[in-house]
Chains A and B, each alone.
Chain A
Amino acid sequence: MTTQASQTLKKPLGLTGEMYRRALVDSVLKLNPRWMVRNPVMFVVEVGSVLTTALWIQALSGAGEAAAWYIGSVSLWLWFTVLFANFSEALAEGRGKAQAEALRRSRRETKAKLLHDPRDRSKFNIVSSIDLKKGDLYLVEPGDILSADGEVVEGVASVDESAITGESAPVIRESGGDRSAVTGGTRALSDWLVIRVMAEPGGGFLDRMIKLIEGAKRQKTPNEIALNILLAAFTIIFLVVCVTLLPYSLFSVSAAGQGTPVTITVLVALLVCLIPTTIGGLLSAIGIAGMDRMIRHNVIATSGRAIEAAGDVDVLLLDKTGTITLGNRMATDFSPAPGISKEQLADAAQLASLADETPEGRSIVILAKEKYGLRGREIHQISAQFIPFSAQTRMSGADIQPAGKSSRRIIRKGATDAIKAFIEQQGGVFPAEVQATVQEISKIGATPLVVSENKEVLGVIHLKDIVKGGIKERFAHLRKMGIRTVMITGDNQLTATAIAAEAGVDDFLAEAKPEDKLKLIRDYQKGGRLVAMTGDGTNDAPALAQADVAVAMNTGTQSAREAANMIDLDSNPTKLMEIVEIGKQLLMTRGTLTTFSIANDVAKYFAIIPAAFATTYPVLNALNIMKLATPESAILSAVIFNALIIVVLIPLALKGVKYRAVSAVQLLRRHLFVYGLGGIVAPFVGIKLVDMFLQVIGMT
């Protein structure tokens, strides 16, 4: 599935040369102040760049406050700082744009067969897909591209949905039930469908998806807004720090009786170095990249807010089947009745299941073969009449006429009470020992399947839910992160308890009906918890709408997809855990870069302050602990480092901080050490290196 899914969506995700070129052009286009003002930190840098450019021009004319080459270099690197930040954003957007284009190709304008009467498929008008309104009915025939999102009203057809899912195998869409939702842009392969349009023009799933991927609809998420406020506050404070430094300097010059006041160039350089440009420049790239990571996991989030909420989730509601256990129950053991050998039981069980094409039936044949060496017998080799499962008898099996014998073997397998009734009807006795075995099996969460031959009970087959490998460890990790896992199952209490224990979930809801799910979510939310769940059916829709993070399977119904705030194109219920990780990663990346950015300021002070007041107070050179060559090189080195660090951190912003399933305290300790302490130390080294390089190339 995943390899196929990569066809349309994953292929453009590698960064191509074309993307870099486009990002370079975009980063220049983004210099437009009307765009820049959305990001206060970088807007300040741009204003500083303009100001220093003006000073450079003034210096060229011979009346500058410092040497023209020096002001020019500072100005150039300030421009680079803005461009690097724009570049990171453009690069993150570029990946989305490439995907959006792939999608747009399948969304091109099509002709739709508009029906007037759903019962009469012969009369239709050909209209353009953009003219379809909500509520209209249209006909699709083999080869047609579906013109709009909707619900199948009539018909059954196989549809190629690879344009949105990347899955090349066609899917069946039919009226009624859970497979009635269709998406515009997909292609009908066989038969015909009558579809009622459910989306306004331009508001279809594909349109929304394109907009989301392109980032056109990207709004700042709550957490991002809060961080932006803090960054703006830092920017204002540092602006005042730098502006007031000019009067301080003027006073100091007159007090010390020597030197010249600090230049505007130096003040702008100091300002740009102090304000959190690293995080300010990378912030939007981090957000876009978060959305992008979701898409790479084939999950479409309807908003950035949903991704962020995913990081905060405290409770995961997981459907048992398909998420915690493999889809079906499997036979794991045979328990013969007294006086019957295991081989006898296995043989009868296999015979009873030969024609049973259900996964349970097949697993019995396989178990008998693997454990007791009973070759799979071909159905036609034995003269047998197979009895399929029916809701009335609740049994299946075979009536076999062995060669050369007159008596028939009537073999049945089924639920305990059904077999018991069947046996007793024939005058047989249901042994107490078997009854005990049945209860034991139920107690451990497995399903007992009793096998009988004629009026004799042969024994019991254990049918068991198989918990997916590694799932227990995964839940343990989630627990460490403070996330509760709750298993939802239609099984009875006993079975659910056993599976819950085996899978290591924190809680479970047995015999769950959709309204129980809704109530459970509400209860958790009342307790202040954020709940995430997956769902696909129409009856899941209320719970999906209630959950904070709701992931709908792409195979699900239209109403489920409408109610959810994320859609998993792979329709893989385990995806929920990855979604949580991506959400956390997004927040962590912001946090680490913020810490790093502010921690950087310490070193920048030590580089710039002694240099800025070198003529007034030469003794302040004692603060020049990096031993930077000259005041000019010190300031230039700080500015260059400040610009380059953005480029260095672009990969981290796009990839995200590596996610680790450890407790909050351990994570904080680690990140404070790496990005806090690292953020203090790194610029000391970096600025010194740049300074040494400047000396080597003789710029100072």
Chain B
Amino acid sequence: MTTNGIFQLLFYLAALILLAKPLGAFMSRVYQRQKTFLDPVFGPVERLIYRLSRINPDEEMDWKENAVAFLMFNFVGLIIVYGLQRLQQLLPLNPQGLGAVSPDSSFNTAISFATNTNWQGYGGETTMSYLTQMLGLTVQNFVSAASGMAVLVLFIRALARHSATTLGNFWVDLTRSTLYILMPLAVIVALVLISQGSVQNFSAYASASLLQPTTDTSGAKVTEQLIAMGPAASQIAIKQLGTNGGGFFNVNSSHPYENPTPFSNFLEMLSILLIAGALCYTLGAMVGDTRQGWALLAAMTIILVVGIFAAYHYESAGNPKFDSLGVDQHTTAINPGGNMEGKEVRLGIANSALWATVTTAASNGSVNAMHDSFTPMGGLVPLVMMQLGEVVFGGVGSGLYGMLVFVIVAVFVAGLLVGRTPEYLGHKIEAYEMKMASLLILIMPLTVLGLTALAVITSAGTSSILNPSAHGFSEVLYTFTSQGNNNGSAFAGLNANTPFYNITGGLAMLISRYWLAVPTLALGGSLVRKKLIPAGEGTLPTHTPLFIFWLIAVVLIVGALNFFPALALGPIVEHFMMIQ
């Protein structure tokens, strides 16, 4: 670890925290339909959308109606993305003449983008036409993120209200998330990325003569290189902001056209956590007690900081096995030192470790380095970040509502510890709430552990493993952890574009998105009906350092306890073998 590296990490964290309040306050105005400076621009568009789709924005819905709206909307989006992939050879904006995508891969990708996962079993530039990328994937990048934000806002209203039945209107929250929050931010980020050198065009791929001709695997001489083009910057901006993570190019943000400069790197990393962090403040503002929002942001940040520094530490420490190969892992003025395998030299260890932690803390999943090539413990950090249930910042919207479920569990046990039926923000936590919270905590480990087990004992699963070792196990575990938490990042080394992985992964993504969102709304539907219990001396405050500490403990214990045995057989045993 270098001073410069540590400074960059701290600078990043400071920027993230400083932006939480202004953006969070703005979003709270957006969701409460108060005046904003963007009204003159988007107001007419918004009203037009409501008129065309015959939505009365003043009509509120209960949790069931909202859940149906959410599911229907996502289902239609899923069908469109599937159709576009299957029919892209017949549709325009396909200068490379790319063919139809296979049914299982289309299935997986459609789910992947509708669920805000953006797991990519395919390589973008060799699979998807520009039309599919723009109309299918980029549109889903916006609306899947906006769907998550809408579900969160419905849930926040449940916490802010008492003795009510309705949570708001999903369609309104969806529209306003997209128009007032995602659109403007995406335009700004895209323009800055273009200024940094990201491509944004509809050209056919450019061809360049190699200065140093080479030979391919069959021994034929290669003198030309095809350089992929396309409307990349606009998709990259939203894939970062909406915690989607689906790269325009196969190598994602390690591609120079996707992530050209250190500044673009910083901006893209900031975009990953920006909205998720600010939503904590929005929560506080909407429930009328900003301390509640800061407390959650503090809990998330503390876990994130531990993750970042652990990843940075282990990557800087390098791999002792490299020493025997004569690799110099010492940090000097001209040598980054540590484990540089799978990392972009122009980005270095600090920024690769930071990105890896941030992208998995959020359910983003974009990468600027290959997580598969991290040291075992360095690779354990992204795994654990996802296995905590994507609640450390997490996906936009989904991360915070996931965290609120942990808050309810933490409040429940803490309430028992102080001898009082627990309450959160004046809502009594009773059997129904615990039923939903338990379900929400239960589903993810069940999906991830179950599918991993299926993959390692069936030949359909094991035949894709390129490293049959503890590391191979880590790769399978990572695959299902990523899809089962709607993250979408991948450990390479596993051929996941097979019918087995496409289908099981698709199921994991569906379960982790909708089986969590719908019980969350049900939980909201129950909380909103509760009578307000005014806070008194006997009420356990949920904004104190003690409660933050307790919440972190609950998140870590529930996450770590479920996955410790699996991790022991993967990264942990790899680590001990490496240092042996």
By a beta-carbon cutoff of 8 Å, the part of chain A in contact with chain B is 222-223, 225-227, 229-230, 232-233, 236-238, 240-241, 243-252, 254-256, 270, 274, 308, 311-312, 314, 479-484, 527-529, 583-588, 590-592, 594-595, 598-599, 601-602, 605, 609, 613, 617, 619-620, 622-623, 659, 663-665, 667-669, 671-672, 675-676
Contact = CB atoms under 8 A, between A and B. Distances in A.
B431 A226 contact: yes
A312 B540 CA distance: 12
16 contacts: A227-B416, A227-B434, A229-B438, A233-B438, A233-B442, A240-B445, A240-B446, A244-B453, A255-B469, A314-B536, A583-B419, A619-B580, A663-B537, A664-B539, A671-B417, A675-B417
Interface in B537-572: 537-541, 544, 546-547, 550, 553, 557, 561-562, 564-566, 568-569, 572
B449 A244 contact: yes
Interface residues of B, number: 66
B462 A251 contact: yes
B429 interface: yes
A232 B441 CA distance: 12
Contact of B420 (A240, A311, A595, A602): A311
A255 B472 contact: yes
B576 A665 contact: no
Given A584-B420, A619-B576, 9 more contacts: A223-B416, A226-B429, A247-B457, A251-B473, A527-B534, A591-B419, A664-B538, A664-B540, A665-B540
A665 B412 contact: no
Contacts of B566: 241, 244-245, 248
A620 B568 contact: yes
Nearest to A660: B419
Please indicate which of the listed interface residues B412, B415, B421, B452 has the most CB atoms of chain A within 10 Å of its own CB.
Answer: B421
B82 to A, nearest CB: 31
A314 B416 contact: no
A250 B537 contact: no
A251 B537 contact: no
B169 to A, nearest CB: 27
Nearest to B476: A251
B227 interface: no
The 8 closest A-B pairs by CB, nearest first: A482-B538, A591-B416, A584-B419, A233-B438, A482-B537, A251-B456, A591-B417, A244-B453
A223 B470 CA distance: 44
Interface string B398-425: 0000000000010011111111110000
Given A237-B446, A248-B456, A588 B473 contact: no
Given A594-B413, A663-B537, A668-B550, A609 B565 contact: yes
Given A240-B445, A314-B536, A594-B413, A613 B568 contact: yes
Nearest to A220: B431
A480 B536 CA distance: 9
B204 interface: no
B531 interface: yes
Contacts of B536: 314, 482, 484
Contact of B534 (A222, A227, A529): A529
B435 interface: yes
B450 interface: yes
Contacts of A586: 419
Contacts of B541: 664-665
A226 B473 CA distance: 37
B532 interface: yes
B418, B469, B472, B577 pick with most chain A CB within 10 angstroms: B418
Contact of B569 (A227, A617, A671): A617
Given A223-B416, A251-B457, A590-B416, A528 B534 contact: yes
Interface in B356-413: 409, 412-413
Contact of B564 (A480, A482, A609, A667): A609
Contacts of B413: 230, 591, 594-595
A252 B435 contact: no
Interface in B423-469: 426, 429-431, 433-435, 437-439, 441-442, 445-446, 449-450, 452-454, 456-457, 462, 468-469
B449 to A, nearest CB: 4
Given A601-B561, A620-B576, A667-B419, A609 B438 contact: no
B456 A250 contact: yes
B419 A247 contact: no
A675 B546 CA distance: 15
B421 A230 contact: no
B533 interface: yes
B462 A619 contact: no
Nearest to A225: B431
B573 interface: yes
Contacts of B415: 587, 591
A126 B445 CA distance: 70
A249 B446 CA distance: 18
B567 to A, nearest CB: 10
A598 B538 contact: no
Contacts of B531: 528
B431 A222 contact: yes
A676 B418 CA distance: 13
A243 B446 CA distance: 11
Nearest to A484: B536
Given A482-B537, A623-B568, A255 B468 contact: yes
Contact of B473 (A248, A312, A590): A248
B418 A664 contact: yes
A424 B534 CA distance: 57
A509 to B, nearest CB: 19
Nearest to B470: A255
Given A479-B537, A483-B538, A311 B421 contact: yes
Contacts of A274: 561
Contacts of A623: 568, 572
Looking at A229, A274, A599, the one whose CB has the most chain B CB atoms below 10 A away is A229
Nearest to A311: B419
Contacts of A609: 564-565, 568
B577 A619 contact: yes
Contacts of A482: 420, 536-539
Contacts of B438: 229-230, 232-233
A252 B474 CA distance: 11
A665 B544 contact: yes
A595 B417 contact: yes
Contacts of B449: 240-241, 244
B505 to A, nearest CB: 17
B556 to A, nearest CB: 10
Nearest to B530: A528
Contact of A230 (B409, B537, B576): B409
A668 B417 contact: yes
A249 B561 contact: no
B569 A230 contact: no
Contacts of A617: 470, 569, 573, 576-577
B421 A312 contact: yes
Nearest to A677: B553
A244 B569 contact: no
Contacts of A599: 557
A668 B446 contact: no
B553 A676 contact: yes
Contacts of A237: 441-442, 445-446, 562
A78 B49 CA distance: 64
B377 to A, nearest CB: 13
Contacts of B421: 222-223, 308, 311-312, 587
Contacts of A254: 468
Contacts of A588: 416-419
A228 to B, nearest CB: 9
A659 B413 CA distance: 17
Contacts of B420: 311-312, 482, 584, 587, 664
Given A252-B470, A480-B537, A528 B456 contact: no
Given A229-B434, A248-B473, A671-B417, A236 B565 contact: no
Contacts of A591: 413-419
